[in-house]
Structure 1
Amino acid sequence: MAPPGQVEAALFITRLQVGICELIGLLRDAGMQVGINTLVDAQLALTNVAVTRRTDVFWALHAVIVNQPEERTLFSQAFALIWQRISSADQHPAQGVDQTEQKKLKRRLAEALEKRSPQPEDQHPAAAKTTEFESAGSDNPENSSRHSTERRTFSGVESFSEIDFAELSIDELQQVHKALLEIASRFKPRQIRRFEPTSRKGPIDLAKSLRESLRTGGIPVTLRYRQRRRELKPLIVICDISGSMQPYLRPLLLLIHTIAKVRPNVSLFLFGTQLTNVTRQLAQADIDVALEKIATAAPDWRGGTRIGQNLRRFRHNWSRRTGTSRAAVWLVTDGLDRDAGQGLNEEMHNLRKICRSVHWLNPLLRFDEYQPLAAGAKIIADQVDSITPIHSLKHLARLPELLD
Structure 2
Amino acid sequence: MPTSGNFAIAQTLPRAAAPFLDFCHLLRRHGFSVAPEQAAGFMRAVALLGPRSMEDIRQAALATLAPQPERKPAFEALFLAFFHGEVSATIDGDPGDEETVVKDEGTDEETALDEPRQEEGGELSSAVEQFGVRAFAGDEDTLGRFRRALGAALPVRRSFRSVRTHARGKPDLRRSLAQIVRADGDIPEPLHRRRKAVQRPLLLLIDVSGSMKQHTGDYLKLAHAMVQGADRAEVFTFGTRLTRVTAALRIRDRERALETAAAHVDDWDGGTRIGPSLQAFLAVPRFSAFARGASIILLSDALERGDHREMESAVRRLSQRAFRLSLATPLAGDPRFRPETAALRAVLPVLDDLVDGSSIEELTRFTLSLARPALAALTVWLRTS
When normalised by structure 1's length, the TM-score is 0.52
Given the alignment, which residue of 354, 376, 391 partners 2:343?
376
Given the alignment, which residue of 172, 182, 187 partners 1:207?
172
Aligned to 2:266: 299
- With over 3 angstroms needed to count, the CA separation of the structure-2 counterparts of 1:403 and 1:189, relative to structure 1, is closer
Amino acid at match of 2:235: L
More relative contact order in 1 or in 2 (CA 8 Å, sep 6+)?
Answer: 2
Q: Residue 292 of structure 2 aligns to a residue in which SS? A: helix
* Distance across 2 between alignment mates of 1:302 and 1:309: 17
RMSD, aligned CA: 3.3
Instruction: Show the 5 A alignment for 1:103-252.
Output: 174=140, 176-187=142-153, 190=156, 192=158, 196-198=162-164, 206-208=171-173, 210-216=176-182, 217-220=184-187, 224-226=191-193, 229-252=196-219
Contact 2:204–2:296, Cα closer than 8 Å, also in 1: yes
Aligned to 2:369: 401
Aligned to 1:276: 243
Q: Shift of residue 348 of structure 1? A: 1.8
Q: Shift of residue 221 of structure 1? A: 5.8
In structure 1, list runs of 5 or more residues that go unmatched: 1-36, 39-64, 74-169
> Which structure has more helix as a fraction of its residues?
1
Amino acid at match of 1:293: T
Correspondence 1:253 to 2:223: no
- With over 3 angstroms needed to count, the CA separation of the structure-2 counterparts of 1:382 and 1:321, relative to structure 1, is closer
Deviations 1:243-280 (A, max 9, x none): 23233223332222222223231111100011111111
Q: Shift of residue 238 of structure 1? A: 0.9
Q: Shift of residue 344 of structure 1? A: 1.6
Correspondence 1:334 to 2:337: no
- With over 3 angstroms needed to count, the CA separation of the structure-2 counterparts of 1:228 and 1:207, relative to structure 1, is closer
Amino acid at match of 1:206: P
Q: Residue 339 of structure 1 aligns to a residue in which SS? A: coil
In structure 2, list runs of 5 or more residues that go unmatched: 1-108, 119-136, 373-385
Aligned residues: 243
* Distance across 2 between alignment mates of 1:205 and 1:270: 44
- With over 3 angstroms needed to count, the CA separation of the structure-2 counterparts of 1:398 and 1:66, relative to structure 1, is closer
Q: Shift of residue 382 of structure 1? A: 3.1
* Distance across 2 between alignment mates of 1:184 and 1:206: 33
* Distance across 2 between alignment mates of 1:260 and 1:278: 10
Contact 1:306–1:339, Cα closer than 8 Å, also in 2: no
Correspondence 1:367 to 2:334: yes
Correspondence 1:352 to 2:319: yes
When normalised by structure 2's length, the TM-score is 0.55
Contact 1:188–1:262, Cα closer than 8 Å, also in 2: no
Q: Residue 330 of structure 1 aligns to a residue in which SS? A: strand
Q: Shift of residue 384 of structure 1? A: 1.0
* Distance across 2 between alignment mates of 1:386 and 1:292: 31
